[in-house]
Amino acid sequence: MNTAVTFDSELERLVGLVNVPDSFDYDYAEVLPRQLAAIDERFQDRVHRIKLLQNRAETAGINAVRQMADVVPLLFAHTAYKSYPESWLSESKWDRMGRWLDTVSTRRVERMDTAGIEGLDAWLLRLQDQGHHVSCSSGTTGKCAMMNATQADLDFCGQSLLRALIWQGLGPNGDRKMISLGQVAASPRNRATGRPMAEAVSAPGVAPFAPNVPPITVGGITEMVVLRKKMAEGTAKPAEVAYYEAQAAAREQAIESAVEQAADALIANRHMKLHVMGLFVPLYKVAERVRAKGYSGKDFNPENSCFVSGGLKRTQLPPNYREYVFETFNMSGQRICQTYGMQELNTNAPRCPAGRYHMAPWVMLLPLDESGESLIEPPATGEIEGRAAFFDLSLDGRWGGIISGDKVRVSYGRCACGSRSPAVHENIQRYADMVAGDKIACAGTIDAYVRGVTGAES
Amino acid sequence: MSNVASLKEPAANSDQAVPAPFFVRGKLLDGREARHKSRDLGVDFATPKINLDSLVTPRTEPGPLFDVRLDEILDFLAASGEAMRCDAKGYLQGAVERISATNVLPRVVIEANVQMAAEYLNKARLLEYAQQNLGDARLLDEWVPRTDSAGRRSFTRAFPPRLIHVLPGNSPLVSVQSIALGAMVKGINLFKMGSSDPFMAVAILRTMMEVDPNHPLPRSMSAVYWRGGDESVERALYRPQYFDKIVAWGGGDAINNVVKYLGPGLQLVSFDPKTSISMIGREAFESEEILDDVATRAAHDVGMLNQEACVCSRVLFIEGDRKQVDRFCQRLQQKLVDRNANGGKAPPLPRDLAEEIEGLRSMDDDFGVWGAPDGSGLVVRSDEPVDFHPINKTANVVSVKSLRDALKWVNVATQTVGVYPPARQVELRNGLASGGAQRIVRLGDAGGQSVGAPHDAMYIMHRFVHWIVHEDGFEPG
């Protein structure tokens, strides 16, 4: 039984650092034991609330977190958030989906009257009324990972992102027009991070721009996923296949239109200070479009800023894509904000002038071996390489420990930028992308027989 | 004098990459100019640089086997089987050593596979195979005459093709089968080896050289490696001017790489990716002994070759109530574990998959999970097939009211269906075939093989050859 509840817990103190300007510079040796104490505090509280965590703790025989290695068996892979059977979605079994969501949530997902719920979006809205803000990370080809969050999580996402931008030196002071590139799924988390940034950077009376295209809703994505499954099973009628292909084409068109609209908006507002927000792949396409229309760096304000996130998601861009984008919009130095993060976490790591992503003190980075099974003990100073796992102490609605698919190089000790926090080098690779592409075996599934699937991920 | 025997193994040096020589039209080619990674274990291996011109025989030049009689080819294959059993030069042993470094299959399984490969080269059985596949094996040697009902005369021959075989990496046995079938159709054969076994085809061909270094059979064979999808090789080679058919295994990228080169004159013979299943009737619960026997058979079909192959069962439909089905699951898991004493454990499940199954474990009303995701044998019970592809000794047991209800989950990717009790095969076979399944067997016998029976809904040799007709009009008068 946990009796170590203190008046002012380490957990609260570490998470509270989101309000401190210099929070990304700290003595790691001093913070590590505090992080461990805080993770233990979370663990003791959550182990009886999150069923999957309870199973995990029992299997691993862990009843307290004392050292980093104790955290490893308690980490979830992202697949934990998509372990529901897909047929429950396609057959609208919302009561069962609710019971599943409950096993990976901190707060109870109560039984609800599921009559009259038409589709996933409607179910998600109903959950929102109960304080469950479920975000999905998904592609059009795979199952959605469904991650529950509380209002506190959403608030924290926005707050921590703003803190990262301020630390990078953007100093949002309400003097510009925000241009959002869109093309991200309309999830509670994405909404929560976008709003505070828009409020902080926008000049009074200058409305942010976003492309006018149909929103990519979770329900819309899932509809495609379900249809694809039916196509594979052979239960989809030809008319449904035609519908699927038409929807996929419409989405391609929406993406194309968003690029065009964003390029036009950038050109039309080129005399203002701009703040561009988006993912690298669409940003690159927009930059190409802007150049094709005859505009480049000299046409834009040298004080333009941007916030870029997201990996390349298997899309091949030329090696100089960063320079190409920044030159196009006349951006440089501290006005370029990049972060490293993922849907599974509340907190992004901001990029420093030395090109490294610094961890917030309330997020523990656990470097693991490639299999994700054992910890690579971090040195006091120096560099190590491995699979990145994280424990985000701010996570409220679900468990904070997650294993990523990323291969990272982490350095400990003082960075060239002056900060002492653990920092991830910019060359982040996905293990999934490193597998040789010539795997051949006679065993396989019906998935290989489905034609015409677009690979775009949101 | 054999030019192969005089070639020495490359000396071991500080370079850790495993050497993988090529075999090109009867000659061993050493060299380590190109380095590659194996798909499963990330081990490096080194090969010679590919000489594209050497892999192509001009169409004006008949293949070395074109005019060799089937009988002589079979004699040579049988002698090669004998040589493989002796393995006097240790080529096969060397290949086993190397495969165990690059392949996920345990060593004992690979060794057993090599033994099976040697036994496959049996003259009577190969002849039976050709006879069964073509209806008349004479078609390989002769222009077989026929006069149609109107009196028009013709001569038909199963003419030798020019084939590229894109070999899978998951079963050394496939190498020997491909060589034997490619030889029996007298073709010009180019084998593109897989990265998890870039050794076995070459080892077999080298062993054949020991039988007779001047025989036309090895001269009609080449075995090389390039990374699948490497356009600098595939764009140059995959052309109807050089080859008639690409014989390819697998799906996804492996087949997409090939499909884009197909066109007039260049056909695909595809061994598509397959999943095999089991169907178990309520008769399994008639007694404790029967249940034990059924679980043993099911475990055999699931666990053979560490569940790497297409014939391995992955989803088992069973008639019974929850209690009965759970008893079966528990027993099946035990039998899977028991098998490890002989075949060894499979690799642990990938973390993502283990996690997904763990998620199911916490929904105990809807799912049951027996065992651990460590490759020793895992059973997941559900009401309908799970979303993931069960691998590394994982069985998904699905309870159904009637086996007929399970037919809706049969599709064109379903290859082998093991049925218990055997008597119920007849009741199910039309429904299974209509759903897309291609092979129905008794439960526990998925690993067996009727000589010359269709594979993946085709007669392979029939697809390999070029069916040529010489029409000679009507008899005068």
In this structure, of A217-221, B185-189, B265-269, the range with the lowest mean pLDDT score is A217-221
Helix, strand, coil percentages (3-state) for chain A, rounded to 5, are 40, 20, 40
CA-CA distance, A373 to A387, in Å (whole number)?
10
Q: Residue A448's pLDDT band (boundaries 50, 70, 90)? A: low
Mean pLDDT confidence for B127-144: 97
Indicate the SS3 state at residue A53: helix
Q: Does B44 touch chain A (CB under 8 A)?
A: no
CA distance A104 to chain B (A): 8
Q: Which chain B residue is nearest to residue A439, measuring alpha carbons?
A: B39
Measured N-to-C along each axis, helices B322-343 and B107-120 cross at an angle, to the nearest 10 degrees, of 80
Q: Residue B224's pLDDT band (boundaries 50, 70, 90)? A: very high
Phi, psi of A3 (to 5 degrees): -120, 5
* More confident site: B259 or B418: B418
Mean pLDDT confidence for B221-233: 93
Mean pLDDT confidence for A416-445: 77
Measured N-to-C along each axis, helices A51-60 and B351-361 cross at an angle, to the nearest 10 degrees, of 110
Nearest to A363 by CA among A1, A9, A11: A11
CATH number of B276-442: 3.40.309.10
Q: Does B312 touch chain A (CB under 8 A)?
A: yes
In tens, the pLDDT along B249-258 reads: 877 777 888 9
Q: What is the 3-state secondary structure (H, E, C) of A210-279?
A: CCCCCCECHHHHHHHHHHHHHHHHCCCCHHHHHHHHHHHHHHHHHHHHHHHHHHHHHHHCCCCCEEEEEE
Most confident among A132-146, B81-95, B278-292 (mean pLDDT): B278-292
In tens, the pLDDT along A148-172 reads: 999 999 999 999 998 998 898 887 7
What integer pLDDT is reported at residue B475 of this predicted model? 82
What integer pLDDT is reported at residue B39 of this predicted model? 61
B229/A444 Cβ within 8 A: no
- Residues in contact with B147: Cβ distance below 8 Å, sequence separation at least 6, in sequence order: B153, B154, B475
| Cβ-nearest to B359 among A80, A232, A444 | A80
Q: Which residues of A touch B192 (CB under 8 A)?
A: none
* More confident site: A194 or A424: A424
Q: What architecture does CATH give domain B18-273?
A: 3-Layer(aba) Sandwich (3.40)
CA distance A143 to chain B (A): 9
pLDDT at residue A438 is higher than 70: no
CA-CA distance, B99 to B45, in Å (whole number)?
11
* More confident site: B331 or A140: B331
- Residues in contact with A342: Cβ distance below 8 Å, sequence separation at least 6, in sequence order: A137, A402, A404
DSSP conformational letter for B467: E
Q: Which residues of A touch B357 (CB under 8 A)?
A: 83
| Cβ-nearest to A440 among B249, B363, B413 | B249
- Going from N- to C-terminal start, the domains of chain B cover 18-273, 276-442
Query: CA dihedral defined by B406, B408, B410, B411, rounded to 10 degrees?
Result: -170
What integer pLDDT is reported at residue A381 of this predicted model? 92
What integer pLDDT is reported at residue B13 of this predicted model? 43
pLDDT at residue B232 is higher than 80: yes
CA-CA distance, A279 to A343, in Å (whole number)?
13
A179, A274 contact by CB (below 8 A): yes
In tens, the pLDDT along A374-406 reads: 999 999 999 999 999 999 999 999 999 999 889
| Cβ-nearest to A440 among B169, B357, B363 | B169
Q: How many Å from the N-terminal Cα to the C-terminal Cα in chain B?
A: 58
Phi, psi of B208 (to 5 degrees): -65, -35
Mean pLDDT confidence for B116-124: 93
Q: Structure tokens of A53?
A: 């965590």
DSSP per residue, A287-299: HHHHHHTT--GGG
In chain B, the percentage of residues whose pLDDT exceeds 70 is: 95
Mean pLDDT confidence for A34-44: 97
| Burial tier of A95 (Cβ tally within 10 Å: 0-12, 13-18, 19+) | middle
What integer pLDDT is reported at residue A2 of this predicted model? 45
What residue has token string 């609208």? A92
What integer pLDDT is reported at residue A234 of this predicted model? 80
H or E element that contains A306: strand A305-309
Q: Residue A5's pLDDT band (boundaries 50, 70, 90)? A: very low
pLDDT at residue A439 is higher than 60: no
In tens, the pLDDT along A318-350 reads: 888 889 999 999 998 778 888 998 888 999 999
Phi, psi of B441 (to 5 degrees): -135, 170
In tens, the pLDDT along B370-414 reads: 999 999 999 999 999 998 899 999 999 999 999 999 999 999 999
Mean pLDDT confidence for B28-50: 84
Those of residues 386-415 in B touching chain A at CB distance below 8 A are: 386-387, 389, 391, 409, 411-413
pLDDT at residue A359 is higher than 70: yes
Residue to substitute from B315, B362, B367, B378, interface A, most A β-carbons within 10 A: B362
The interface predicted TM-score of the complex, written ipTM, equals 0.74
What residue has token string 């169409």? B59
pLDDT at residue A310 is higher than 80: no
B413/A438 Cβ within 8 A: no
Q: Residue B12's pLDDT band (boundaries 50, 70, 90)? A: very low
Residue to substitute from A59, A84, A440, interface B, most B β-carbons within 10 A: A440
pLDDT at residue B242 is higher than 80: yes
CA-CA distance, B203 to B105, in Å (whole number)?
18
Q: Which chain B residue is nearest to residue A453, measuring alpha carbons?
A: B252
In tens, the pLDDT along B420-448 reads: 999 999 999 999 999 999 999 999 999 99
B474, B328 contact by CB (below 8 A): no
In this structure, of A4-8, A130-134, A315-319, B103-107, the range with the lowest mean pLDDT score is A4-8
Q: Residue A314's pLDDT band (boundaries 50, 70, 90)? A: low
DSSP conformational letter for B273: -
pLDDT at residue B6 is higher than 80: no
What integer pLDDT is reported at residue B107 of this predicted model? 82
| Cβ-nearest to B362 among A51, A233, A436 | A51
CA distance A339 to chain B (A): 25
Burial per residue of B209-223, b for 16 or more beta-carbon CB atoms within 10 angstroms, e otherwise: bbbebebbbbbbbbb
What residue has token string 């957990």? A11
Q: Which chain B residue is nearest to residue A98, measuring alpha carbons?
A: B363
H or E element that contains A123: helix A120-129
- Residues in contact with A227: Cβ distance below 8 Å, sequence separation at least 6, in sequence order: A236, A240, A243, A244
Q: What is the 3-state secondary structure (H, E, C) of B195-220?
A: CCECCHHHHHHHHHHHHCCCCHHHHC
Q: Does B194 touch chain A (CB under 8 A)?
A: yes
In tens, the pLDDT along A175-203 reads: 999 999 877 777 788 878 888 888 889 99
Indicate the SS3 state at residue A105: coil
The sign one gets for the Cα dihedral B132, B138, B141, B145 is negative
Q: Residue A313's pLDDT band (boundaries 50, 70, 90)? A: low
CA-CA distance, B317 to A249, in Å (whole number)?
38
Q: CA-based angle A69:A393:A28, to the nearest 5?
A: 60
Q: How many Å from the N-terminal Cα to the C-terminal Cα in chain A?
A: 43
Q: Residue A227's pLDDT band (boundaries 50, 70, 90)? A: confident
Q: Which residues of B touch A80 (CB under 8 A)?
A: 355-356, 358-359
Q: Does A51 touch chain B (CB under 8 A)?
A: yes
Mean pLDDT confidence for B191-209: 92
Q: Does B342 touch chain A (CB under 8 A)?
A: no
Chain mean pLDDT for chain A: 87
Q: Does B34 touch chain A (CB under 8 A)?
A: no
pTM over 0.90: no
B238, B263 contact by CB (below 8 A): no
What integer pLDDT is reported at residue A233 of this predicted model? 77
Chain mean pLDDT for chain B: 91
A428, A406 contact by CB (below 8 A): yes
What integer pLDDT is reported at residue A440 of this predicted model? 61
CA-CA distance, B56 to A98, in Å (whole number)?
61
pLDDT at residue A436 is higher than 50: no
What integer pLDDT is reported at residue B5 of this predicted model? 33
CA-CA distance, B306 to B378, in Å (whole number)?
12
B309/A442 Cβ within 8 A: yes
B346, B373 contact by CB (below 8 A): no
H or E element that contains B178: helix B172-184
* More confident site: A30 or B343: A30
In tens, the pLDDT along A41-77 reads: 999 999 999 999 998 899 889 999 999 999 999 999 8
CA distance A80 to chain B (A): 5
